Amino acid sequence: MAKIVFSAVQPSGIPTIGNYVGAIKNWVGLQDEYDCIFSIADLHTLTVRQTPAELRARTLELLALYVACGIDPEKCVLFAQSHVHEHAELTWILNTITSVGEMQRMTQFKDKSQKHAENVNMGLMDYPVLMAADILLYGTEFVPVGADQKQHLEIARDLAMRFNSRYSPTFVVPEPLIPKCGARVMSLQDPSSKMSKSDLNLNGFISMDDTPEEIVKKFKRAVTDSDSRVCFDEQSKPGVSNLMTIYALFTDKTVSEVEAEFDGVGYGDFKQRVGEAVAETLKPIQKRKADLLNDKDYLFSILKSGAEKASYIAMKTLRKVYKKVGLLQI
Ligand code: ATP
Ligand code: LTN
């Protein structure tokens, strides 16, 4: 049997090109070699206040985006986290071997508690445990994510090892798969912070739904520096280096090829070309996504069969776990 790959994105907004190159794009290349399971982390999304109708719409949109980006529902299991109740149940068991202190130390928890100070809920603190449950239910070997999720992966590994040593070998200890290039796409307005779909400054990110005009306009406004040479140096030229990384990823070139291509070219032309390259790649994805959203029956059929396949595996794992911790079986 092939090794299991599991990953997910939250339907918390329209995904950005950061989510695309840090995660979804890399999933496409894994589906022939591994048994891939890709989820829509809708339960995670509830840790920040949502408008229910919007959350429902975004869940379907995210599924359409997965498929439009090249994730094949015939090869992979695609499902929404809330459709497989074992995720919430395993979270409860894992909660009993997780300390409050280790959750309070998580970088994302600290950031989000600051950002949503009016709603520091238990779910926000428990976020990494639910993520560990997602991963551990399926015997996952590899988890393809962006660099910001590394700390959460560490927790998933720790919990797997803790459970295995407290009871008996049960969980596979997962490994993160973090891309060499594109693991941390930075904001176009503040190259010291990560591009995020929930950024209040709309010029900071390129969403997967942006029109070619919006894309070029946002790149034209991207923060660079007072120098005028297009060369890669993340320390002294973080803005330009971020744009070069994006261009390399969207044209399948290396950073040194990009450097050679723009030798002697000014920032204005460079930014225009980065915008055009991104817009060109997104155009067919946007078209496929729109077509898919016109066929809701098809999208629901993917979710239904995905939930059935995922439930089958998840149920077996949870049953084992319940038995090992001493819950009476009937
Ligand atoms: P939010 O802004 O709502 O917190 P997000 O944009 O950080 O969300 P997630 O749904 O939390 O997105 O992440 C989905 C995947 O995208 C994860 O694998 C994450 O590591 C990756 N990712 C998110 N932002 C970036 C980025 N700027 N560069 C590279 N990968 C990213
Ligand atoms: N927390 C993740 C999304 C996510 C995830 C997962 C990723 C939820 N469950 C399991 C990998 C494996 C994020 O990217 N913010």
Q: What distance in Å separates the CA atoms of residue 1 and residue 138, rounded to the nearest whole number?
A: 13
Mean of pLDDT over the chain: 97
Is residue 112 part of the annotated active site? The answer reads yes
- Mean predicted confidence (pLDDT) in 80-107: 98
Which of 44, 45, 124, 198 for a ligand 2 pocket mutation test, highest count of atoms within 8 Å of Cβ? 44
- What pLDDT shows up at residue 63? 98
Q: Is 180 a catalytic residue?
A: no
Q: Which ligand places an atom closest to the C-alpha of 19?
A: 1
Tell me what pLDDT residue 1 has: 81
Per-residue confidence band for 34, with pLDDT thresholds at 50, 70 and 90: very high
Q: Which of 9, 26, 86 to mutate to test the pocket of ligand 2 (most atoms within 8 A of CB)?
A: 9
- State CA 46 to chain mean position distance: 16
Pocket test for ligand 1, best of 6, 19, 61 (most atoms within 8 A of CB): 19
Is 194 tagged catalytic? yes
Output the CA 8–ligand 2 centroid distance in Å: 5
From the list 112, 218, 237, 289, the catalytic residue is 112
**What CATH number does the domain located at 203-290 have?**
1.10.240.10
State the average pLDDT over residues 248-263: 96
Q: What is the mean pLDDT of residues 142-148?
A: 97
Rounded distance from Cα 276 to ligand 2 centre (Å): 30
Distances (CA, A) of 159 to 78, 91, 201: 25, 11, 36
Residue pair 197/14 in contact by the 8 Å Cβ criterion: yes
Left if phi > 0, otherwise alpha if psi is -120 to 50, otherwise beta: which for 262? Answer: alpha
Q: Is 198 a residue whose pLDDT tops 90? A: no
Q: What percent of the chain has pLDDT over 70?
A: 100
Q: What gap in Å lies between CA 37 and CA 305, rounded to an integer?
A: 12
User: What are the sequence ranges of the domains in the chain?
Assistant: 4-183+296-325, 203-290
3-state secondary structure of 246: helix
Contact 168, 29 (CB under 8 A): no
Instruction: Point out the ligand nearest to the CA of residue 13.
Output: 1
- How many Å apart are CA 147 and CA 127, to the nearest integer? 17
How many residues in total does the chain contain?
A: 330
CB-based contacts of 71: which residues, under 8 Å, 6+ apart? 24, 27, 28, 31, 36, 38, 78
CATH code, 4-183+296-325: 3.40.50.620
- Among 194, 218, 237, 271, the active-site one is 194
Mean pLDDT of 108-119: 94
What is the 201 CA–ligand 1 centroid distance (Å)? 16
- Identify residue 138 by its one-letter amino acid code: Y
State which H helix or E strand residue 175 sits in: strand 175-177
The pLDDT, as a whole number, for residue 149 is 97
Cβ < 6 A, ligand 2 pocket: 6-10, 41, 44, 131, 134-135, 143, 145, 149, 152
